[in-house]
Structure 1
Amino acid sequence: MTQYLISFEDGAMDVTEEELPEVADDAHAVVQEAKDAGVFVFSGGLDYSRRHAVVATDGGVVTDGPYPETKELIGGLMVVDVPTFEAALEWAAKVAAACRCAQDVREFFPFRRPELERPR
């Protein structure tokens, strides 16, 4: 199996405050479906109103937030562990319908150390 990141940009969900409860219910239903199917790894949304920082490669320099020139920020994500890219696209379609926005699908590099893989 291969892990895929399904994500959307911050601000991509164009829904009203009144629609948010239904969108949240639909998104939670997709997560539960993925759990029931045994393909769920992780999901979550990112809150850019909270404190965040960028740590430099030397580990000593910390700056607030993403670099100002960054145009795209991840707003939400789900990681699934499925046998094919096509299967990842099927899950992305479900997430897109639930969240009412397009999803980006990317494959993670495969694990090379069995001791780091999550147990089945």
Structure 2
Amino acid sequence: MTKYLISFPSAAMDIPADELPAVASAAHAVVQEAKDAGVWVFGGGIDESVPPVMVDGGGLVREGTYPQTTQLDGGYSILELPSYDAALGWAARMAAACRCAQEVRVFQYDPAS
């Protein structure tokens, strides 16, 4: 089966503060559905209070990130599914729960893993 990344940026969740508990509850329910279905691999939100760093092959650490990814935030889920259509279905469930559109990406198959 193929792994899919389903994600959204933080800015997409333009939700009033008093509605956040309901959104969190709905999102947790979809995650539980994915776990119960045996398709959940991993998920979570980027901790935006911790700035990104770059680490090179020699172990040198510097602040920042690649210029094309200056903003990487929001929520991410990885599901292992039988088809692209199944990924779109799960993305729709997540979009309804989070009240924002979800981006779907396909991980390349790696025969060595």
Q: Same fold (TM over 0.5)?
A: yes
Instruction: Output the CA distance in 2 between the equivalents of 1:3 and 1:48.
Output: 25
Tell me what 2:94 maps to: 95
Instruction: Report the alpha carbon displacement of residue 47 of structure 1 after superposing the two structures with TM.
Output: 1.6
Runs of 4+ with deviation above 6 angstroms: none
State the Cα deviation string for residues 70-102 of structure 1 (Å, max 9, x = none): 454241100111111000000000111111111
CA contact 1:7–1:74 (8 Å) conserved in 2 = no
What root-mean-square deviation, in Å, do the aligned CA atoms of Structure 1 and Structure 2 show? Answer: 1.8
Map 1:1-120; keep pairs closer than 5 Å.
1-56=1-56, 58-67=57-66, 70=69, 72-113=71-112, 116=113
Q: TM-score with structure 2 length normalisation?
A: 0.88
Q: Secondary structure at the residue paired with 1:105?
A: strand
Instruction: Output the CA distance in 2 between the equivalents of 1:105 and 1:42.
Output: 15
Instruction: Report the alpha carbon displacement of residue 65 of structure 1 after superposing the two structures with TM.
Output: 3.5
Q: Secondary structure at the residue paired with 1:11?
A: helix
Aligned residue pairs total: 113
Instruction: Report the alpha carbon displacement of residue 64 of structure 1 after superposing the two structures with TM.
Output: 1.9
Identical amino acids, percent of aligned pairs: 56
Q: 1:51 to 1:80 in 2, by over 3 A?
A: same
Instruction: Output the CA distance in 2 between the equivalents of 1:19 and 1:68.
Output: 34
Q: TM-score with structure 1 length normalisation?
A: 0.83
More helix by share: 2
Q: Which amino acid aligns with 1:77?
A: Y
State the Cα deviation string for residues 54-77 of structure 1 (Å, max 9, x = none): 223x34432223346645424110
Moved more, 46-55 or 23-32: 46-55
